[in-house]
Amino acid sequence: MKLCVLGSGSGGNSTLVYSDSTALLVDAGFSCREIEKRLAAASFQPDKIRAILITHEHGDHIRGAALFSRKYGVPIYLTEGTATADRSLEKGDDLRFIRPEGNFAEGDLEIHPFSVPHDAADPVAYIVSNGGRRAMVMTDLGHVTVRAVEKTRMANLVMVESNHDVELLKIGPYPWSLKERVGGKLGHLSNDDCMELLANAGGPHLSTVIFAHLSRQNNNPNLVRLNADAFFGGGRVVFEIASQDACGKTYEV
Ligand SMILES: [Zn+2]
Ligand SMILES: [Zn+2]
């Protein structure tokens, strides 16, 4: 199984996960055209995508979902809460409701959705597995839960939110109401929380970490890189900082 982040941040999120026979997008938060462009940059044909998995209804996760679904005739998997919260998703070709902790499969990819604490109707993160290997895509969570720790322990590749530096958020340009939302229990995960999660839950089979959903205003990729270097430097874990503007490397999970 392979994974490539097509882009991540508040301007749009989408991640390509595929085996030899099945390909999925986790979130489709760019326009359909932009998703096609980024798939091309990853040398991947859009008509190979078999399904879209949606984490939650915020625009940076669903923007191109309905159009991509219609254009390529692929289903959208999402919670009923997500579908109800943004009716534009009903324009998709085929909506399939999922439940947190309710496993399902698409082709030879097994999919495990689980709840995350975020200010959306019924948000989930996903573990996608194939042949005993597991990739976790977990962005948009306000704090680390016991469940998040347990799931992280299971994963070979972890794509996890490292949204903001607490100090930069404090002194940054956002109005206080937004600072409180972002930094709150149902907002976004800080760099410190993210590193603490990895320190506690990075199991012996963890081989790749992708830091995702970095804020442009309240974070600096160099800060994340420094922390990650200090923690993983010289070790067996490869890490990447996902970009908002371009697709990342393709990793074998
Ligand atoms: Zn988001
Ligand atoms: Zn969100």
How close are the terminal C-alpha atoms of the chain, in Å?
A: 6
**C-alpha 236 to ligand 2 mean position (Å):** 31
Q: Which of 47, 37, 51 is nearest to 94 (CA)?
A: 51
Residue 148 to residue 63: CA distance in whole angstroms: 26
Tens digits of residue pLDDT in 203-247: 789 999 999 999 999 999 999 999 999 888 778 899 999 999 999
| CATH superfamily placement of domain 2-252 | Ribonuclease Z/Hydroxyacylglutathione hydrolase-like (3.60.15.10)
**C-alpha 61 to ligand 2 mean position (Å):** 7
Residues whose beta carbons lie less than 5 angstroms from ion ligand 1: 60, 140
- Ligand nearest 57 Cα, by number? 2
Q: What is the largest CA-CA distance in the chain?
A: 48
pTM of the model: 0.97
What average pLDDT does the chain have?
96
- Ligand nearest 139 Cα, by number? 1
**C-alpha 102 to ligand 1 mean position (Å):** 23
Residue 89 to residue 104: CA distance in whole angstroms: 20
What pLDDT was estimated at residue 235? 83
What pLDDT was estimated at residue 35? 98
What residue ranges do the domains of the chain occupy?
2-252
Tens digits of residue pLDDT in 133-177: 999 999 999 999 999 999 999 999 999 999 999 999 999 999 999
**The 133-138 sheet, strands edge to edge:** 104-106, 109-115, 124-130, 133-138, 157-161, 208-212, 238-241
